[in-house]
Amino acid sequence: MFKHNITILIVLTILLMTFSVSSTRTASEGVTLPYKMEYQTFQLEVLQGQSAIAYYQGTMYLNLTLTTELPMGTLYDPVRKVVYMAIYATYSNPNIVWGIAEINITDYSYKIYRFPWYVDGTFYGPVPWTIAEDGNGELWISIRDYLVTPNHPPEFRPYLAKLNVTSNTLTIYFIPGGCSNDIKFHNGYIWYLTSPFLKINATSEEIVAMYPCSFNLDGFMDSDGDYIWITSVSDGIVTRFNTATETFDLNLTDFDRPLGIEVDEKYTYVAENSRTSTDGTILMIDKELLNVSRITVAPRTNEGPYYILKSTLGNLWWTDNSQHFGVVLSNGTKLWYESISPYNYFISELPGNSILFSCKGSAMAGIVKDINVRAQGSTSVAVGAGGRKLLW
């Protein structure tokens, strides 16, 4: 059963209960903050399997054999010592296996918390995208889409989920706004890229603030103190949200499909997922001077860089949609690898200086060893252990 917030206007409550779309008023106009989100809870089926392991060009690949769907967002949990990975469903069929995978990084066994097919009379098959973990050990999940959605969805949509891996329960929340994208836990709150941008109290399950934006928040984000840096893929914008002033205080424009983003103490790095340029590029934005330069990485055959991660060794790892992944080492050396998959996606760092990335296949993840330039010396990185690395 849904829980209802008594602070919501009676007219809005009726709309929510009946999923009426007759009103022209936007959902955010009728919300009194803090807004207690309505929800449904599901007991999930949990499947267990053992990864099939293959090696290609010196990289180990894990195949989660119980599903043929796409792996997307990844998250390493240092307490449970597992990697969580969103399994993105690609076609409408209640019998497919998708949801959230939990991979044991010691023996590569895994579980899949299988998502429900039926959510509501107008929504079937929630599709997960990215994952954030709150301070309570629960996983908050962006719902990118549904396998079956109505032509005219209601004002409040079930585009946010929370997974409790102890009780195997999934809670799906109804939120205002449009299509949902990246999700992060920062400074004690869940931050959610929707339209409007949402700030959520994970403990009380309340939306505590909503921030309208004049362009699409359809990329990824990374946090840095009081700031959250965000990419807008469709509008070619890198924006900065100031959590202290609660404003978008910086917009940098004219980029070619900016997607993955990573922030360190001096720079903001952005993957340009171009479909037209010859070479794949990563933007490097000086956070103080706001100067923008580009790092050329592997040649593009389909789409450019997708996601990036700065490792504890100071190396900048990236994936692309042109059968590559690679690294810009802390000494400036650039290497790239051919992958077993034509499309590579999200990245997480594992203990022991290992890098895991999700990639297209029957739910596949690649694992490669990070490179310690100081320990090995710059001359030793040109040749991998049985792998192919192209260096320039």
CATH number at residue 166: 2.40.128
Q: What is the DSSP letter of 180?
A: -
Write the single-letter amino acid at 234.
S
Which pTM was predicted?
Answer: 0.90
> Cβ distance 263 to 229 under 8 Å?
yes
Q: What is the DSSP letter of 381?
A: G
Same domain, 6 and 130: yes
Same domain, 180 and 297: no
* Mean pLDDT of the region 2-25: 31
Same domain, 164 and 290: no
Predicted confidence (pLDDT) per residue in 214-265, tens digit: 999 999 999 999 999 999 999 999 999 999 999 999 999 999 999 999 999 9
The H or E element that residue 13 is part of is helix 10-18
Predicted confidence (pLDDT) per residue in 106-156, tens digit: 999 999 999 999 998 889 999 999 999 999 999 999 999 999 988 777 888
Dist CA 122 CA 365 (whole Å): 33
Same domain, 270 and 139: no
Given the structure tokens 């505590």, which residue do they identify? 208
* Mean pLDDT of the region 367-372: 96
User: How is residue 144 written in tokens?
Assistant: 């990118």
Q: What is the pLDDT of residue 362?
A: 85
- Look up the domain containing 122 and give its range: 1-51+64-212
List strand residue ranges (DSSP E) for 193-333, in order: 197-201, 206-211, 221-224, 227-232, 237-242, 247-252, 258-263, 267-272, 279-286, 292-299, 305-310, 316-320, 324-328
Q: What is the pLDDT of residue 26?
A: 47
- Residue closest to 143 by CA, chosen among 209, 194, 208, 68: 194
Residue 379 lies in a domain: yes
- For residue 378, give the 3-state DSSP assignment: helix
Same domain, 299 and 374: yes
Same domain, 262 and 203: no
Write the single-letter amino acid at 193.
L
Number of separate domains in the chain: 2
Residue 352 lies in a domain: yes
Predicted confidence (pLDDT) per residue in 259-299, tens digit: 999 999 999 999 999 999 999 999 999 999 999 999 999 99
Residue 219 lies in a domain: no
Query: Could you tell me the strand order of the sheet in which 354-359 lies?
Result: 52-56, 59-63, 364-369, 354-359, 344-350
